[in-house]
Chain A
Amino acid sequence: MTLRAGVLVFPGSNCDRDLVVALRRAGAQVSTVWHKDAALPVGLDLVAVPGGFSFGDYLRCGAIAARAPVMRAVVAFARGGGLVLGVCNGFQVLIEAGLLPGALMRNAGLRFVCAPADLFVGTPDSPFTNGYARSETVTFPIAHHDGAYFADPETLARLEGEDRVAFRYRANPNGSCGGIAGVLSENRRVLGLMPHPERAVDPAHGGVDGGRVFAALVETAAAGALQGA
């Protein structure tokens, strides 16, 4: 089966096309979904929420986008077991929508950080990360001002105890609790991360480590191992 993916587009999204390219390159069938659409295209396996500055980062990053009409459908899709990937601003949107725990706050150094980041793979146990080995180091670019992951101690202990930290910074660039760069939902089918795997899928990008996220999703779909949403 071919992976069918929908990439959301909000006013101010700027990584939507990068995600489309990365998914198509891996072999997925991709459509884009406008934020005002109240329903998702029928038969999607994956919803991808892109990076950028949705609604100008007004109020809090991702706060307005998380209340857009399409997000109600995305939350229902996720609750039904659908796969959802949020990158950078997309991660902020998924947190604001309540699909992932915690909060993303202003970087501890107060600077916008734009650089390649070395990450440890926290867990290969998800449809997004099963192409990596546990504790393998990969490099994805980061580009954000509000990427410091925060959660209360109970939530952090739960994320660690349930093996839900998908990626962790080797050198913490933004003051994230526990160096957390990406987290999984309880059912492991929603992943949010600040680094950009879709910006590391071509040698011309400077690296191809991110390609395995998309390849893993496509291969899992091809094996018929994705439960339909």
Chain B
Amino acid sequence: MLKHGVLDPQGEAVRHALGSLGFPGVGDVRIGKVIELDLDATDEAAARVQVDAMCRALLANPVIETYVVDIA
């Protein structure tokens, strides 16, 4: 997800479109992305460590984005 304080022009455009469709009460709209990884790891804690390293190395840009790791 884009950090708060970083302008999200796509979110703004979506907010306007929702307003024009008559959906009331939409404040801020932020657009992020979901990346699904199929891992060999069987241990949840190890997988979390591995994915966190991937986020920092490539998947997220910490200058403008935050990330959350969910393991299913």
Q: How many residues of B are in contact with the other chain, CB < 8 A? A: 11
Chain A to chain B contacts (Cβ below 8 Å), 17 pairs = A59-B58, A63-B58, A96-B61, A101-B63, A102-B63, A103-B61, A103-B64, A105-B7, A106-B10, A108-B7, A108-B9, A109-B9, A148-B7, A150-B6, A150-B7, A150-B64, A152-B63
Q: Tell whether A115 is near chain B: CB-to-CB under 8 Å.
A: no
- Tell me whether chain A's interface is mostly helix, strand or loop, or mixed: loop
Q: Tell whether B29 is near chain A: CB-to-CB under 8 Å.
A: no
A110-B13, A150-B63, A150-B64 in contact; A105/B58 too (CB < 8 A)? no
- Tell me whether chain B's interface is mostly helix, strand or loop, or mixed: helix
In the bound complex, residues from chain B placing their C-beta under 8 Å from that of A63 are 58, 61
Contact with A along B1-36 (1 / 0, CB 8 A): 000001101100100000000000000000000000
Q: How many residues of A are in contact with the other chain, CB < 8 A? A: 19
A105–B63 CA distance with the chains assembled, in angstroms:
11
Q: Is the CB of A67 within 8 A of B58?
A: yes
